[in-house]
Structure 1
């Protein structure tokens, strides 16, 4: 599905030698280096022939409130190339988030610049927790934003009443583009390259980076390791949603509604992909986590029951014995000592 996206036009009379894509990067304090690197490398490889890295078709600048080096979450620092200035010199402003407990450094200046860019009609991109920054600045009203499954609960705690998209790798909602971070930022960058320069440069960039092919925005996020796996995208996305609320299970009706499908359609996909119902798959997922915690933690059975969405220890024990033919207590007694 193609999203509507209006790019800020270049000023009349500018030379035809201008790049077809010009991006300004705003790096938050302790930003995620891989999210930035994946995105900018797709631009770099698409900007020139081969791997020569000349900024011909694309150009990019790291901009900031001042010229102080900006540390990434890994400790590697990036030197800004310019201060903020006029945002309309860029086709997109890309904000790269990082560690949530350190995102307030320069927050007022960053938020003010992003609001200035939005008011001028420059599309805004949020990478990793950059989506949080866009919401914080009040720039996502009425728009969907993509957040990694890993930060789903933090988002809910910070933005009461809002629900992020945590089952796709990126989301485009008009002039806001948001990505879950990590490798997904390369796919979002490739989307922009294809739109502004062409499919061949986008494909070339990904292939040089050893990424087999471009993924669309609705590709499911990989999420945590699942004992239950499915190639069906709808089933996979449903499983990821189940993971995100494993301690407070939601109904299958609610999951279907969030996926914009009917309950019967979702059940049909589960039967075809996994030979079981969504409810059974959800229960198996929770019981597998119980099994893991019994073997690999010293949490009490009551604590595990609460963490895995069971109303009490008795309910957990009944369901666990039904699946594994042994009680939680018997399994724990039989395990090797964790200190061994």
Structure 2
């Protein structure tokens, strides 16, 4: 029987912790028999939000598990507990597959398990993870990264994607799909799929681009150029680029491209319009161009995105 140990400490995130318990700690022998042998491992009783958990074993028991899972915790401003880091490192040395959910990646990085490897975490913390651990190649865009014996996931729902990925590796796709159906979640989202972060429009403020942003968003169906934006903003292309970098952190073309993709996402989610129509409405021209750029940016084709995020009410789009 494959043993799974969940490492717990005070302040861990309830959502990710609960997902790991739901998948690996539930009695699912009616689907797969034998299922996992599951245990909680910690130094003492721990607080998770308003709940109290009593571990089954100490952290030294992690070294006896086949798979060790480290959920995220809220306070990433401080270094993870030394005893937890040491126990996770010892478990990996003993041959365990080590998995982090969300900000649990900070524990794996502190243990040196991510050095020279690609990893991810919740998009809001990828910058800090990369800054604190420069030997780690942090990918802010993907749902999860599988390095074989070390796996990391992005935040929240992506933790479930990685849990189901582990089940798929251990018990096959059919059983993973049956469990996903039971949990009413998508049966499979590939790890390379993007975290679906919509690039926001900066809040209105006292800066030279305040009036330009809404003007652009009303004309996404048009073949706008940097010169068009500069002309509308009444400044040179060079000055426009400087202001864009200051306000948005990116270039005018990159920002414009992100807004076109974001609008395409909205239309795929909320309308029944064809990919051709959406390509035209977002200024992509043809469905081939939209598919290429959408897949490259989001990580999945438009049709796959639509199936995953289709809303129950889908009004017709009016150009």
> Which TM-score band applies after superposition, normalised by the shorter structure?
0.5 to 0.7
Matched pairs, number: 222
- 2:228 — aligned with what? none
CA gap of 1:134–1:209, structure 2 versus 1, over 3 A, is same
- 1:40 — aligned with what? 21
Rounded to whole Å, the distance in 2 between the matches of 1:193 and 1:138 is 26
CA gap of 1:150–1:246, structure 2 versus 1, over 3 A, is farther
Tell me if the contact between 1:63 and 1:83 (Cα under 8 Å) persists in the aligned partners. yes
- 1:61 — aligned with what? 39
Rounded to whole Å, the distance in 2 between the matches of 1:269 and 1:135 is 43
- 1:248 — aligned with what? 249
DSSP 3-state at the match of 2:29:
coil
- 1:71 — aligned with what? 47
Cα deviation, 1:23-42, whole Å, max 9, x if unaligned, reads: 11112431111112122212
Rounded to whole Å, the distance in 1 between the matches of 2:12 and 2:33 is 24
Does 1 or 2 have the higher relative contact order (CA < 8 Å, sep 6+)?
A: 1
- 1:9 — aligned with what? none
Tell me if the contact between 1:95 and 1:125 (Cα under 8 Å) persists in the aligned partners. yes
- 2:178 — aligned with what? 204
Superposed CA RMSD in Å reads 3.4
- 1:273 — aligned with what? 290
What does residue range 158-197 of structure 1 map to in structure 2 within 5 Å?
A: 158-160=132-134, 162-197=136-171
Equivalent of residue 90 in structure 1, options 65, 71, 95: 65
CA gap of 1:119–1:199, structure 2 versus 1, over 3 A, is same
DSSP 3-state at the match of 2:118:
coil
- 1:111 — aligned with what? 85
Unaligned runs of 5+ in 2: 202-216, 218-245, 255-283, 295-319
CA gap of 1:55–1:35, structure 2 versus 1, over 3 A, is farther
CA gap of 1:213–1:86, structure 2 versus 1, over 3 A, is closer
Rounded to whole Å, the distance in 1 between the matches of 2:141 and 2:248 is 17
Unaligned runs of 5+ in 1: 1-18, 229-244, 254-266, 278-340
DSSP 3-state at the match of 2:178:
helix
Task: Tell me the TM-score normalized by structure 1.
Answer: 0.57
DSSP 3-state at the match of 1:97:
coil
What does residue range 146-165 of structure 1 map to in structure 2 within 5 Å?
A: 146-160=120-134, 162-165=136-139
Tell me if the contact between 2:46 and 2:54 (Cα under 8 Å) persists in the aligned partners. yes
CA gap of 1:114–1:210, structure 2 versus 1, over 3 A, is same
Tell me if the contact between 1:30 and 1:102 (Cα under 8 Å) persists in the aligned partners. no
